[in-house]
Amino acid sequence: MHLVSKHYCNNPYFVTQLYCFAECLPPLESLATVEETVVRDKAVESLRNLAAQHSPQDLESHFVPLVIRLACGDWFTSRTSACGLFHVCYPRVSPSVKVDLRAHFRQLCQDDTPMARRAAACKLGEFAKVVEVEYLKSELIPMFVNLAQDEQDSVRLLAVDACVSIASLLQQEDVEQLVMPTLRQCVEDKSWRVRYMVADKFTDLQKAVGPEITKTDLVPAFILLLKDCEAEVRAAAAHKVKDFCQNLDPYQQENIIMTSILPYVKELVSDVNQHVKSALASVIMGLSPILGKANTVEHLLPLFLQQLKDECPEVRLNIISNLDCVNEVIGIQQLSQSLLPAIVELAEDSKWRVRLAIIEYMPLLAGQLGVEFFDEKLNSLCMAWLVDHVFAIREAATLNLKKLVEKFGSEWAQNTVIPKVLAMSRDQNYLHRMTCLFSVNVLAEACGQEITAKAMLPMVLNMANDNVANVRFNVAKTLQKIAPVLDQSSIQMQVKPILDRLNTDTDEDVKYFASEAIAVIGG
């Protein structure tokens, strides 16, 4: 049985070639009642696939009786499995059988076991799509209303998903009369999990009910969700701000956003919960193209500035990563005047962790602003980080250089970055000279063989004469690191003689790293 069941569950098409329809069903029916959820789900999936392959006569003779047996089973496991099978056979059976199927589905919606009611609520939307409109109104919507008022919040929240499917199948007047009263209750449900589900499905609901009901009912509902007492609900609603605003009626869009939505968005910018602020920051920039230049400058830029200074790194990242939306609307000049000072301020913050966060965002920001603007406004900042008094900043700054070279190209590196890195090799502070070597380590691969050999290698070789042992052994480590980028001629003629000399150094650490480099490079 185990081997046969495995075939039934995993490859129903193969099974149908070997067994007749009636012979396929009993093992799958058995598997659809087991306790293990994964097995049940796989059995239901196979039954659904099998149903699509067979005639209405076979469905009525064999499949529908199976569904009814599962729906009437003693254990909740069989009844939960039955819920996923109604919609695959309903469209292809006779009217009298349809009556029977609707009656059994109604029983499942009223089942004593919450698990069965959850399964019915989960599959109600699928069933609604195949039921005739008259029965949708007279039979399924009452089922939906009851499920949406169930004593278990785990059932009520699944009814929200069914609401989307049902609303999309009805005329606007029917939606207003039959669906909206229940949806309004869900928005103010006592369980935050139900309200969260409404917020999560809000744009789907918006598309299902249409622009008029959105204006009269969903806008007030959205405001309630944006100021909900639970942070999870506010975060889910905040994440939908851009899409909800984008889908509003174009003729009323700006007015609704400015008068109804934006005042509550402004409050969320300073929300006490960082997940709410982060969710909003990920979408708020998308309001710029919707509201236009004047509104962006007057109303949105102050919010962006506030978020750029937020203590939560994810909030700052979400703003920086979406700057291109604002750039397209107000232009780089306005953007630099408004937001760049805040970015520079963060980049020079007295707290090194704040500086570190901005460094990590800099390649992303560079890509948004372009090479000319970056060179003019931010390049000097990036180079200044290389001589920061905190090692973690200097280390991050070298990795930042590599990412910038990968973004802007080796020619840009040769003209802009490498001269400044070379100058550091002559700095009086040995820590800065070591940072110069660390920069070469990461730049060599990004810049390629020619630039490494001509511009950076001579400097590294010259630093082998440094009077600080830490610098000398880092020269050995750097030569080992960049060797794969160099050609054999450079290695034999320039690198190996220097490593041989360092291998006889008076400092033990220098000799150790030189010998290690010789072993690796010499193969």
Which pairs with CB-CB distance under 8 Å and at least 24 residues apart come from 329-335?
Answer: 329/288, 329/289, 329/292, 329/293, 329/296, 330/288, 330/293, 330/296, 330/297, 330/301, 332/369, 332/370, 332/373, 334/297
**Among 106-120, 292-306, 342-356, 417-431, the least confident range:** 342-356
**Per-residue model confidence (pLDDT) at position 20:** 54
Q: What is the mean pLDDT of residues 119-145?
A: 93
User: For residues 240 and 246, what is the distance between their CA atoms, to the nearest angstrom?
Assistant: 10
**Per-residue model confidence (pLDDT) at position 147:** 94
Say yes or no to pLDDT of 19 above 70. no
Give the pLDDT band (50/70/90) at residue 399: confident
Q: What is the mean pLDDT of residues 251-266?
A: 93
User: For residues 142 and 289, what is the distance between their CA atoms, to the nearest angstrom?
Assistant: 42
> Rounded to the nearest 5 degrees, what angle is found at the Cα of 14, between the Cα atoms of 8 and 16?
80
What is the DSSP annotation of 103-122?
Answer: HHHHHHHT-SSHHHHHHHHH
Q: What is the mean pLDDT of residues 413-417?
A: 86
**Among 101-115, 166-180, 292-306, 331-345, the least confident range:** 331-345
CA 445 to chain centre: 31
Q: Which residues of 103-123 are buried (b: 16+ CB within 10 A; e: fewer)?
A: ebbeebbebeeeebbbbbbbb
CA separation, residue 520 to residues 442, 484, 498 (Å): 18, 10, 15
**Among 8-17, 127-136, 247-256, the least confident range:** 8-17
In this structure, the number of other CB atoms found within 10 A of the CB of residue 311 comes to: 9
Burial classification of residue 429, based on how many CB atoms lie within 10 Å of its CB (0-12 exposed, 13-18 middle, 19 or more buried): exposed
Q: Which of 55-64, 131-140, 333-342, 349-358 is modeled with the greatest confidence?
A: 131-140
User: For residues 321 and 314, what is the distance between their CA atoms, to the nearest angstrom?
Assistant: 10
Phi and psi at 33, nearest 5°, equal -110, -5
381-396 confidence digits (pLDDT tens) = 888 888 888 888 888 8
**Per-residue model confidence (pLDDT) at position 236:** 96
Q: 6 or 190: which carries more pLDDT confidence?
A: 190
User: For residues 359 and 352, what is the distance between their CA atoms, to the nearest angstrom?
Assistant: 11
What is the DSSP annotation of 157-211?
Answer: HHHHHHHHHHHHHS-HHHIIIIIHHHHHHHHT-SSHHHHHHHHHTHHHHHHHH-H
| Secondary structure letter of residue 322 according to DSSP | T
Over the chain, what is the mean pLDDT?
Answer: 87
Say yes or no to pLDDT of 135 above 50. yes
**Per-residue model confidence (pLDDT) at position 8:** 44
**Among 155-164, 181-190, 304-313, 476-485, the least confident range:** 304-313
Say yes or no to pLDDT of 4 above 70. no
Q: What is the mean pLDDT of residues 175-199?
A: 94
339-389 confidence digits (pLDDT tens) = 777 777 777 778 887 788 778 778 877 887 788 878 877 888 888 888 888
CA separation, residue 70 to residues 12, 36, 511 (Å): 20, 16, 78
Two tokens at 281? Answer: 């920051």
User: For residues 280 and 322, what is the distance between their CA atoms, to the nearest angstrom?
Assistant: 12
User: For residues 238 and 281, what is the distance between their CA atoms, to the nearest angstrom?
Assistant: 9
Q: What is the mean pLDDT of residues 10-17?
A: 46
Q: What is the mean pLDDT of residues 497-508?
A: 90
Give the pLDDT band (50/70/90) at residue 21: low
66-87 confidence digits (pLDDT tens) = 999 999 988 999 999 999 999 9
Say yes or no to pLDDT of 26 above 50. yes
- Tell the residue number behind the tokens 């919960």, with chain if given: 273
User: For residues 71 and 104, what is the distance between their CA atoms, to the nearest angstrom?
Assistant: 7
Say yes or no to pLDDT of 125 above 50. yes
**Per-residue model confidence (pLDDT) at position 343:** 76
432-486 confidence digits (pLDDT tens) = 898 889 889 888 888 888 888 888 899 999 999 889 999 999 999 999 898 888 8
**Per-residue model confidence (pLDDT) at position 10:** 53
Domains and CATH numbers, the chain: 1-169 (1.25.10.10), 178-338 (1.25.10.10), 409-523 (1.25.10.10)
Give the pLDDT band (50/70/90) at residue 119: very high
**Per-residue model confidence (pLDDT) at position 409:** 86
User: For residues 12 and 259, what is the distance between their CA atoms, to the nearest angstrom?
Assistant: 56
User: For residues 447 and 418, what is the distance between their CA atoms, to the nearest angstrom?
Assistant: 10
CB 295 within 8 A of CB 259: no
**Per-residue model confidence (pLDDT) at position 22:** 61
